[in-house]
Amino acid sequence: MFKLKKRGALFYVHFTDAQGNRQRLSTGETVEAQATAKAFDIVRKHLAGEAANARDAAAPAGPLIAGEVTVAAALNEALATVWEGQRSLDNRNSHIKEIINDIGYLPIGQLDYNRLVEYGKVLAARGNSPATRNRKFSTLQVALKQQVKRGRLYSMPEFPKYKEADFKERYLSDEEEERILRVIDADDDGRARYFRHLFVFLIETGCRCTEAMTIKPVQDLGTQVHLPHGSTKNGKGRLVPLTTRAREALTAMLRSRHHGKFNVDWATRRYRKAADACGLEDTVLHTLRHTAASRIVQSCRDIYAAMHWLGHSSVEVTRRYAHLVPDAPLMNALAALEARRATTVPNSRSTIAEQEGTLPRLAQFPVGKLSQFNGLGDSAQVSNPHAFKGGGF
């Protein structure tokens, strides 16, 4: 898309404009990271101005053809048809606005791997983490896939993939959960009691806080709670099973005059106060969902069942908890090996401790007595007693 070169103390951006003319402009920056962001902005504004002039000069005729669909048009179309009504709309919308502001003027057919790599560098220079860059490129990918389906884009460009930090989630132990509940119970008022029920419901079901705080009585199905389409993060409805404890908590929540009156920020502050009082500063309200997920995965040992319970968009999200489940094929192989040894190898079930209790130790016998244990006979001479170290004893 462009090249950055240093001349003297300043960095210059080199690129080719829409007419094929080479351009070299100063970024006015001496630091490469800042120069990269400035260079991208220079190129974007330069090409956007040329594109606007070209559109003004050409009279509109007929429907939009493939080469004329811009990144902005593709994203706005996806916003209206794919993400409308989803809980993640606000966050997605902020990504879309940034991408449109940066490269919205480009025709989708001009997006290729090199351009995307350069754009990734600009996002990195702004301080975007690898995970954030991947999310923004994922948003762009969804929009482009829609254009492929509509026949406006021949094929998908290859997207760069940035290595994210290893997944390390914090879970509450049973003891930590009890400590937090004791702190919450110490504040005996209606709001504290409501938050206690909400806390229990979240850690038992794995629901997101926004899902739990907006449940209506009609969604309560007794042994399950129904989260309708549009009320979840990905917009897809699901049924959440209720444990006995979750059932009691939901009943109390729905009966409370405080239900539906507070938002996530209120619940976050309540959790923060209780957790800090317990010395659990490294946990957040969302830790309750991770805790529930870890317990569900360990209990059912079925990644796909856990995926549907938690409402994950794909099984890959749930696989983050897979390390908590013993590998079934490996455990089956272990059991088969143990069974084989128990039936084919004599005394295979005796432990090393038991064997040590029945077998003599070398240190307990004089050198002259060792011969009776190695088959040499009483008259055999042992010149080096250390030769027996590591043997069958």
Burial class of residue 262 (count of CB atoms within 10 Å of its CB; 0-12, 13-18, 19+): middle
Is residue 278 in some structural domain?
yes
Domain membership of residue 378 as a residue range? 360-385
- Residues 185, 140 share a domain: no
Q: Are residues 195 and 317 in the same domain?
A: yes
Same domain, 244 and 183: yes
My answer on whether 199 and 119 are in the same domain is no
Residues near 153 by beta carbon (within 8 Å), at least 6 away in sequence: 66, 69, 108, 109, 144, 147
- Same-domain status, 178 and 319: yes
What are the CA-CA distances from residue 289 to residues 169, 175, 207 (Å)?
A: 10, 17, 6
Q: How many CB atoms lie within 10 A of CB 185?
A: 12
Q: 102, 47 in Cβ contact below 8 A?
A: no
Same domain, yes or no: 183 and 301 = yes
Is the domain of 139 the same as that of 262?
Answer: no
Residues 370 and 277 in one domain: no
Per-residue pLDDT for the chain (393 aa), expressed as one digit of tens each? 677 788 777 787 777 766 667 777 777 777 787 778 777 777 766 665 554 444 444 434 333 444 578 998 999 888 888 776 665 666 678 888 899 888 888 899 889 999 899 999 989 988 888 888 998 999 999 999 999 988 888 889 999 999 876 555 788 999 999 999 999 999 888 999 999 999 999 999 999 998 999 999 999 999 999 988 867 776 788 899 999 999 999 999 999 999 999 988 899 999 999 999 999 998 999 899 989 888 888 887 778 888 888 888 777 777 777 666 666 667 777 788 888 877 775 555 555 455 555 444 434 444 444 334 344 444 444 444 444 344 433
Q: Are 165 and 79 in contact (CB under 8 A)?
A: no
Residue 308 to residues 89, 233, 236, 296, 303, Cα–Cα distance (Å): 21, 13, 11, 11, 9
Residue 75, in any domain of the structure: yes
Tokens of 32: 């490469």
Domain count, the chain: 3
Length of the chain: 393
Looking at the fold, whether 297 and 179 belong to one and the same domain comes out as: yes
316-360 pLDDT, tens per residue?
Answer: 777 777 666 666 667 777 788 888 877 775 555 555 455 555 444
**The pairing of beta strand 238-241 with beta strand 3-7:** unpaired
Domain identity same for 141 and 208? no
The answer to whether position 223 is within a domain reads: yes
Instruction: Identify any residues that bridge with 24 across adjacent strands, giving them in sequence order.
Output: 14
Within-domain flag for 392: no
Domain assignment present for 353? no
Q: Which residues contact 88 (CB under 8 A, 6 or more apart)?
A: 233, 234, 235
pLDDT, position 179: 96
